[in-house]
Chain A
Amino acid sequence: MDRRKIDVVLSTFLIIVSLIILTNDNLVEGGAESDLGSMFLPRVVAGLIILFSATIAIQSLLKLSKGTKIEGLELISTDGFSGILIYIGIFIVYWLAVPYVGFLVATPFIMIAVAILLGGRNWVPIIAMSVITPVLIDYGSKEFLRVYLPTWAF
């Protein structure tokens, strides 16, 4: 993937967001009067974001228009991206499941899923690890940190 194209899209997005920050007064609600004002610093930062984003976009656009060869860091390798998407999916399922089924029930399945994703096929140690780790974490959190992890909600 050509990073220069992403640079142009991302910079355009950041410039639009910064312009909204610079022009929209509804982004701040309430607050007391002060010498500085609540939106002074955000607007200064937005101005700087426009400056730096534009610099990046112009550099990338120039390279694209000249047809310059892609250099090392400008080439984003997409090999293995499917694994990342699956991992994000697993994490989202984890986030959604824990409030309902609890930490102790959800975690072993998630650990096994991640282990399989990483090529694990030694079932006995993987299952043992997936059961023991959440039990230890739950016990440690409760006893030492006084943090109660979510439990079965039904």
Chain B
Amino acid sequence: MFDNIISGFSSILAIGPILGIIAGVIIGIIFGAIPGISAIMAIAIILPMTFYVDPIIGITMLLAVYKAGIYGGSISAILINTPGAAASFLTAQDGHALTKAGKAGKALDMSLFASVTGEMLATLVLILVAAPISLISLQAGPIEKVFLLLFAFTVIGSMAGESLPRGLLSCCLGMLFAMVGMSTITGAARFTFGYTELMGGFTFTPMLIGILVMPEVFNVIKRRLVPHHEMTITHSPNPADNRISFKEFRSVFSTILKSSGIGTFVGALPGLGSSTAAFIAYGEAKRTAKKPEEYGKGSVEGIAAAESANNAVCGSSMIPMLTLSIPGDDVAALLMGAFLIHGLTPGPMIFFEHTETIYAIFAGFLITDLFLLVIARSGFKFFVKMASLRRYYIFPCVTVFAFTGAFTAGQNMDDILVLIAFTVMGYGMRLVGLNPAVFIIGFILTPFLEQNLDQAMSIVGTDYYLFFASPFSWVFIALSVFFVFSSMRVRRKTSNTSAQVEDKTA
């Protein structure tokens, strides 16, 4: 493994990948910092531009956008109390309180250092853990993979949706849309209604941009009458308030380590994502803090906990994707699509079929952290200025990039129609509480499920009991049932708590 890592570094330390990382970090921070634009939107828009470059450059650039985008969300959270990303909600509470006290520099510094530390630790875990897990998952045959995929659908659908039936329905709709076009198993045309344009199925990129990106533009247009907030970095006359000293960083380092651990663990579980990680880590840090009353009122430790946890998810969310072919959240689903477009099938075999590429991507992941640290630290003012651009400058550009991105994928105007249709559908899904990210995960994983199910059927023939002969099958069935019930319990508990709070306030 050590040789592979060295070889990965030698591949990534070239002009192309480095320029890709720098561009990715800059784009990610800007997009992440703009309220209303998230990292996922940035990745989806940049994705078509990476089709025509080497996978090492393209994928590392997308990963740089992802990491920097998650961090960028904390800038608007701290300066104007508007999280650029949902995961920065808690950072907004403490960070904005510090901004109001004239200590914006301190909050921004803490957020950056905690983000980079969290990301780096999670990336190291990813590098050390992914290959050994892939060795275990290689033992799985088609039958085990079928149960693994069913487990993934169940967990993601039940954990990520607004409610259990809505989450699972989102997943089923994604599965249904994935089956439009020519079946990869039988070659039959399904749900094409005589339109040859549908034989290839729905083009992934326009659908992705439509489902995940454009509804955000709709949201901005819907709220277009809300006044624009200008971002400014407040300065204190006391220089110590404008930065984080080594002593302060050392005092919160144990919190960062613990929160990074929580973020890494949560990120490795499918369906939970960075917001959950931030909330758990923040709660745990507050529980064990010496001054818990400061949390939410300008606690540097609170920022460290939330930011290190939500950024740690970036690295660890790749673990299920690279070892089991299961994207843990919406960004991982998008990245999985990017891997597939670049001819790399995420899964255990990637470590054997594309060893050099995957370790180069890992090395790029680590190097991105260094670039993020340097670029963000030296360009705070620039990023704040860019993120303060009025929405009538930003969203016309987003519209054109979405159009171009959708067209670039297949160089076909029909793809623009796909983009428009899925944009409306994606927005409609949000309105009725269906989860677009779960829809995308269902869409991506269905071909794998069908392929493995077909192979499994060939193996078992008419002896259907063989489906349940492997202990793996039972483990995944048990895990699926456990996740569904625990999700139901958590939801019931949450609704009871909120009902009690409402009763008390009434």
Binding site for B on A (CB under 8 A): 3, 6-7, 10, 14, 21, 27-42, 45-46, 48-49, 52-53, 55-56, 59, 73, 76, 79-81, 83-84, 87-88, 91-92, 94-95, 98-99, 103, 107, 110-112, 114-120, 125-126, 129-130, 133-134, 137, 141, 144-150
Measured between C-beta atoms, what is the minimum distance from A89 to chain B in Å? 11
On whether the beta carbons of B400 and A137 are closer than 8 Å, the reply is yes
Residue of B nearest to A147 (CB): B408
Supplied contacts A35-B457, A56-B169, A149-B407, 9 more A-B pairs, CB within 8 Å: A35-B458, A41-B450, A48-B168, A52-B168, A79-B222, A80-B224, A98-B403, A125-B393, A133-B400
On whether the beta carbons of B404 and A137 are closer than 8 Å, the reply is yes
Residue of B nearest to A120 (CB): B392
Residues A55 and B221 in contact in the complex (CB < 8 Å), given A7-B432, A45-B172: no
Measured between C-beta atoms, what is the minimum distance from B184 to chain A in Å? 11
A79 cross-chain contacts in B, Cβ below 8 A: 222
On whether the beta carbons of A38 and B396 are closer than 8 Å, the reply is no
Point out the residue from A76, A103, A111 that lies within 8 Å of B399, measured CB to CB.
Answer: A111
A137 cross-chain contacts in B, Cβ below 8 A: 400-401, 404
Measured between C-beta atoms, what is the minimum distance from A136 to chain B in Å? 10
Q: Does residue B469 face the partner (Cβ distance < 8 Å to A)? A: no
A30 to B169, CA, bound (A): 29
On whether the beta carbons of A3 and B433 are closer than 8 Å, the reply is yes
Residue of B nearest to A98 (CB): B413
On whether the beta carbons of B454 and A145 are closer than 8 Å, the reply is no
Within 8 A of A (CB), among B380-417: 390-393, 395-397, 399-401, 403-404, 407-408, 411, 413, 416-417
A86 to B403, CA, bound (A): 17
On whether the beta carbons of B188 and A76 are closer than 8 Å, the reply is no
Q: Does residue B78 face the partner (Cβ distance < 8 Å to A)? A: no
Residues A129 and B397 in contact in the complex (CB < 8 Å), given A31-B186, A73-B162, A88-B420: yes
On whether the beta carbons of A145 and B222 are closer than 8 Å, the reply is no
Residue of A nearest to B189 (CB): A29
A59 cross-chain contacts in B, Cβ below 8 A: 165
Binding site for A on B (CB under 8 A): 49, 51-52, 162-163, 165-166, 168-169, 172-173, 175-176, 179, 183, 185-192, 217-218, 220-225, 390-393, 395-397, 399-401, 403-404, 407-408, 411, 413, 416-417, 420, 423-424, 427, 431-433, 446, 449-450, 453-454, 457-458, 461
A148 to B424, CA, bound (A): 27
A133 cross-chain contacts in B, Cβ below 8 A: 396-397, 400
Point out the residue from B413, B424, B453 that lies within 8 Å of A36, measured CB to CB.
Answer: B453
Measured between C-beta atoms, what is the minimum distance from B97 to chain A in Å? 26
On whether the beta carbons of B413 and A99 are closer than 8 Å, the reply is yes
Residue of A nearest to B222 (CB): A80
Residue of B nearest to A107 (CB): B400
Residues A118 and B183 in contact in the complex (CB < 8 Å), given A56-B165, A87-B217: no
Measured between C-beta atoms, what is the minimum distance from A128 to chain B in Å? 10
A148 to B407, CA, bound (A): 10
Measured between C-beta atoms, what is the minimum distance from B503 to chain A in Å? 13
Residue of B nearest to A148 (CB): B411
A7 to B162, CA, bound (A): 14
Point out the residue from A30, A83, A95, A107 that lies within 8 Å of B417, measured CB to CB.
Answer: A95
On whether the beta carbons of A118 and B220 are closer than 8 Å, the reply is yes
A36 to B220, CA, bound (A): 45
A125 cross-chain contacts in B, Cβ below 8 A: 393
A87 cross-chain contacts in B, Cβ below 8 A: 217-218, 221
B218 cross-chain contacts in A, Cβ below 8 A: 84, 87
On whether the beta carbons of A129 and B185 are closer than 8 Å, the reply is no
On whether the beta carbons of A49 and B185 are closer than 8 Å, the reply is no
Residues A114 and B396 in contact in the complex (CB < 8 Å), given A3-B433, A80-B221, A119-B224: yes
On whether the beta carbons of A118 and B395 are closer than 8 Å, the reply is yes
Residue of A nearest to B429 (CB): A10
Measured between C-beta atoms, what is the minimum distance from A9 to chain B in Å? 10
A41 to B175, CA, bound (A): 9
On whether the beta carbons of B432 and A10 are closer than 8 Å, the reply is yes
A49 to B174, CA, bound (A): 11
A49 cross-chain contacts in B, Cβ below 8 A: 169, 172-173, 176
On whether the beta carbons of B176 and A118 are closer than 8 Å, the reply is no
Point out the residue from A37, A110, A144 that lies within 8 Å of B52, measured CB to CB.
Answer: A144
A105 to B399, CA, bound (A): 15
On whether the beta carbons of B191 and A32 are closer than 8 Å, the reply is no
A-B contact pairs, 12 of them (CB 8 A): A28-B191, A30-B189, A32-B188, A49-B173, A87-B221, A99-B413, A114-B392, A120-B390, A120-B392, A134-B400, A137-B400, A150-B413
On whether the beta carbons of A141 and B408 are closer than 8 Å, the reply is yes
A126 to B393, CA, bound (A): 7
Point out the residue from A32, A98, A147 that lies within 8 Å of B187, measured CB to CB.
Answer: A32
Measured between C-beta atoms, what is the minimum distance from A48 to chain B in Å? 5
On whether the beta carbons of B189 and A31 are closer than 8 Å, the reply is yes
On whether the beta carbons of B52 and A115 are closer than 8 Å, the reply is no
Measured between C-beta atoms, what is the minimum distance from B165 to chain A in Å? 4
Point out the residue from B166, B189, B190, B453 that lies within 8 Å of A56, measured CB to CB.
Answer: B166
Residue of B nearest to A32 (CB): B186
